[in-house]
Amino acid sequence: MAPLGPFHIQNGVRIDFSPWPYPSATRLLIENLQQTVIGNRDTAFIQQLEPDFVVHDLVDYHFVKVAMQKYAHQGLTDRSFEDSLNREEVIII
C-alpha cells in the first residue's frame, strides 16, 4: 500500500491561505449576500444585517493582525502595516 503523504512535494503546488483582514471585503460580502437569491429560503435575517455592524462587531480581525505583524519579516507587504489593511473592493462585470 502506498504511503499517504504530502502530495504537494510531487507536484510543487500547495494550497495556500492568505488571511487578510479586510473590513471592505467583509462589507462587500454582506452587501452582495443581501442581493443573492437563495432558493425558497427565508432571508429575513440576512436582510436585517447592517454591513458596518458585521465588520466592526461580528468579525474579529485581532488574531490575523497579530499573526501578520509577527511574520511581517517574511515579505508580507512593502507598505506600512496599517495601510496594508485598508483597500477598496472593485468588482467589474
Give per-residue pLDDT as tens, 55-72. 988 888 888 778 777 876
pLDDT, tens digit, for every residue of 8-21?
556 566 556 566 66
> Is this structure's pTM higher than 0.85?
no
**CB of 23 within 8 A of CB of 88?**
no
Phi-psi region of 44 (alpha: psi -120 to 50; beta: other; left: phi over 0): alpha
